[in-house]
A and B are shown apart, each in its own frame.
Chain A
């Protein structure tokens, strides 16, 4: 039993009876992100599954104040909130932008880059379900090679996933962390830490999505775990440019016992058309990224 389970904030800020799908990886992640961020937080979100989870006016399922913004303006709206709070002397409030991969990798990137370059004092969270899920699983630049989406139904996605983490790293920001709902305590701890740090913080969560990825809702935690075990998603932290593996990825790096990608791929219908060639390219892509991380960890 994880002893530190008892240290987690008991309050629930995401209320039951909301609109997220059965077994939604975002819902599980969000529960812990909000527990960690707790009071004195203002959220800003563009359109995405999370907006749906928040609910329809005049009711909401989330007890933390939240602003709804447009896709391109997410980080700009956060910067506006920070300026407003500063002007009114409310400097103990943390501003958190929460967007999907479409709202981060694609449509939100320029405002995010601008805010990061200015060192805006806020947390930008990208929950990455690797597609435009809210509108029916269209391809995004975060979709991996070989995945079927409704816009890549025949040939599957032919390009690799964009390395958004590397783009954020190039902005030399205060804190970067990756998290997964398979490890809610690690996720919680990283959000607690991010809240304490000043400057621009970027967090990326690997969020499995049952209808979009094609697996039974009960397997969300298993799929999230396999993403880590195969190294397709890596748990790490970068504080002021210093990289370190964390949690399960740390022991995988030490022991060198990553699972082959096929263990992760074979459990998801979105990969049912992946070719042998694509699978080997995807394995190579994953191995290369992993080796880059190993080099970074050496310093």
Chain B
């Protein structure tokens, strides 16, 4: 993928953050309550519906579940779809 093809004059290179730190777009931030989050409660891989539905792919499956706030745009889909209501959207302030 990283290889340049000399026959193509205008060829782009893949990079994370093509539009910069898109976390800056956010006015609400998702906060996970690990006391309610199913994988943390059960201490085994489970649920991960937040990972499934995140349009940005910024949620890491694991124990605990983590969100990359550098790029999370704050859409709130994860909070809406979490079956355990473990995610709350809180104001970034300002």
Contacts and interface: CB of A to CB of B under 8 A. Distances in A.
A115 to B, nearest CB: 23
29 contacts: A2-B52, A6-B45, A14-B57, A15-B15, A15-B16, A16-B22, A16-B57, A16-B71, A17-B18, A17-B70, A18-B18, A18-B22, A18-B56, A19-B18, A21-B73, A23-B73, A23-B75, A28-B53, A55-B12, A57-B10, A58-B11, A59-B14, A59-B15, A60-B14, A61-B18, A63-B14, A65-B1, A216-B76, A220-B77
Interface residues of B, number: 40
B58 interface: yes
A199 to B, nearest CB: 28
B71 A184 contact: no
A56 interface: yes
B15 A27 contact: no
Interface size on A, as a range, is: 35 or more
Given A19-B18, A21-B73, A221-B80, 12 more contacts: A1-B38, A6-B45, A16-B16, A17-B16, A18-B19, A28-B53, A28-B55, A31-B57, A55-B19, A59-B14, A61-B14, A221-B81
Interface string B50-94: 001111111000000000101101111101110000000100000
A203 to B, nearest CB: 19
B57 A62 contact: no
Interface of A: 1-2, 5-6, 12, 14-25, 27-28, 31, 54-63, 65, 181, 184-185, 216-222
B76 A60 contact: no
Contacts of B19: 17-19, 55, 61
Contact of B75 (A54, A58, A218): A218
Contact of B25 (A22, A58, A62): A22
B80 A222 contact: yes
Contacts of B80: 218-219, 221-222
Contact of A61 (B15, B45, B55, B68): B15
B55 A27 contact: yes
B20 interface: yes
Nearest to A23: B75
A184 B55 CA distance: 11
Looking at B1, B12, B74, the one whose CB has the most chain A CB atoms below 10 A away is B12
A1 B14 contact: no
A58 B13 contact: yes
Contacts of A1: 38, 46-49
Nearest to A26: B55
A59 B18 contact: yes
Contacts of A23: 55, 73, 75-77
Closest 6 pairs between A and B when the two form their complex, measured CB to CB? A218-B76, A17-B17, A23-B75, A16-B71, A60-B12, A28-B55
Contacts of A181: 55
Contact of B77 (A61, A63, A218): A218
B55 to A, nearest CB: 4
B35 to A, nearest CB: 19
Nearest to B25: A22
Given A6-B45, A18-B19, A221 B77 contact: yes
Contacts of A15: 14-18, 57
